[in-house]
Amino acid sequence: MGSPAIAILGTGSYTPSRILTNEELSQQVETSDEWIFSRTGIRERHIAAKDETTSHMAAAAARIAIADAGLTAADIDLIIVATVTPDMPMPSTACFVQAHLGVLSHAACFDLNAACSGFIYALDTAWAMLGSSRYRHALVIGAERMSTVVDWKDRTTCVLFGDGAGAVVLGPARGTAQIIGTKLYAEGAHAHLLCIPEKKCAPGEIAADAPQPPRTITMKGREIFKNAVREMEQAAREILDHHQIDAAAINCVIPHQANLRIIAAIGQHLNLPPERFFVNLERYGNTSAASIPLALDEARSTGRIKPGDTTLLIAFGAGLTYGSALVRW
Ligand code: ACO
């Protein structure tokens, strides 16, 4: 007997109420709405309040996804949070999410770091775990508080990122909806192109004696751009070939929302028109692991994804990691 069919049963998302526009940013660093929008497609981003942690945003998105699936928190027996901005190094943000959900469900909880590809990595992991039939309903969440790892004086990075969370509930397929496939990749040789360098300690030195520079994002933007286009195209082509699905049969592509020019280039390479891509980065910026589930939830709630549709998800991020997923609704 093969593995049981697993589907996305519900989606949810959450973004903080505080909106930071390009105009406001241009009063903090030397930039302009014109530069940011023409280079990236971003107009504004949401910024978490002081007490609005990654787990709070994740739990808010999760509650909506659980209700959308017609379940309660007690039905969830696995929680995976994809994030590079956990509440703390330990325990995992997923444990905090379980606590916020308020039900002592004893669901297994862990975090996963694959940067902006984190949601696809977590989806693949949860799909495999549910496919083993040892778990029944999983919460897969991408949640980020990027505002805490951005150097707000560095105009080359601070204009790009935003905060938010998106969640899906996976479970036994009802009807014909199901996850068709996933593909994960990484190129560690390019790890240095995009990172949050660790506090450095010399051998034998204890952390308290070492200088403590702030941990913020460093990025080689142009190289990331080129790799992103190449890798997302590869991730899309290989999953379509593997499942013998023509690109033209995809109703909606949900790419990682980093830069509109990256998305446009992928569309050209795959010979897909811009309207086939769902894009909301104008209002959120790059929310890292949250970007795809945030877009997925918006695409569903606005009717852009309908029952019976086939959706292609494509991600790339620090690592460099990249990956894709095919989902039937
Ligand atoms: N405002 C005004 N000018 C700026 C800004 C800014 N915010 N940022 C950079 N500039 C200047 C630069 O200093 C440079 O000036 P110079 O020519 O005098 O040296 C000029 O603009 C051009 O800079 P470039 O870096 O060449 O600009 P580019 O067109 O490549 O756009 C960008 C930069 C938007 C960062 C682009 O390279 C990009 O999007 N790269 C991909 C980044 C990305 O997606 N990162 C997220 C990865 S996902 C993850 O895992 C987190």
pLDDT in tens, 112-167: 999 999 999 999 999 999 999 999 999 999 999 999 999 999 999 999 999 999 99
Ligand 1 atom closest to 224 (CA): 41
Task: Please check whether residue 299 lies inside any domain of the structure.
Answer: yes
DSSP 8-state class, residue 171: E
Q: Please tell me if the CB atom of residue 40 comes closer than 6 angstroms to any atom of ligand 1.
A: yes
Q: Is 116 designated active site? A: yes
- State which H helix or E strand residue 158 sits in: helix 155-158
28/45 same-domain check = yes
If you measure from the C-alpha of residue 154 to the centroid of ligand 1, how many angstroms do you get, rounded to a whole number?
A: 11
What is the enclosing helix (H) or strand (E) of 262?
A: helix 260-270
Tally of domains within the chain: 2
- Indicate if 199 and 264 belong to the same structural domain: yes
- Ligand 1 center to 122 CA (angstroms): 29
pLDDT at 206: 61
User: What is the model's pTM?
Assistant: 0.95
Counting atoms of ligand 1 from 1, which one is nearest the CA of 256? Answer: 48
Domain match, 141 and 206 both:
no
Biggest alpha carbon–alpha carbon distance for the chain = 62
Active site residue 195: no
Per-run averaged pLDDT (10 residues), the chain, 329 residues: 88 98 96 97 98 97 98 96 96 97 88 98 98 96 97 95 98 94 97 85 61 81 96 98 96 97 96 96 98 98 96 97 98
Is the same domain home to 162 and 110?
yes
> Which CATH number belongs to the domain containing residue 210 in this structure?
3.40.47.10
Q: Is 192 an active-site residue? A: no
Pair (24, 109) in one structural domain: yes
Pick the atom of ligand 1 nearest to 258's CA: 44
The reported pLDDT for the residue numbered 124 is 98
Identify the domain containing residue 287 by its residue range.
180-328
Amino acid 205: pLDDT: 62
Q: Residue 197: its pLDDT value, please?
A: 87
pLDDT at position 2: 72
The per-residue pLDDT for 198 is 75
Tokens 């040892």 correspond to 134
Q: Do β-strands 138-145 and 78-82 pair in parallel, antiparallel, or remain unpaired?
A: parallel
Look at residues 175, 190, 224 and tell me which one is the last residue of a structural domain. Answer: 175
Cα dihedral angle (143, 251, 257, 95), rounded to 10 degrees?
10
Identify whether residues 126 and 141 lie together within a single domain. Answer: yes
Cβ 35 under 6 angstroms from ligand 1: yes
Both 266 and 152 in one domain: the answer is no
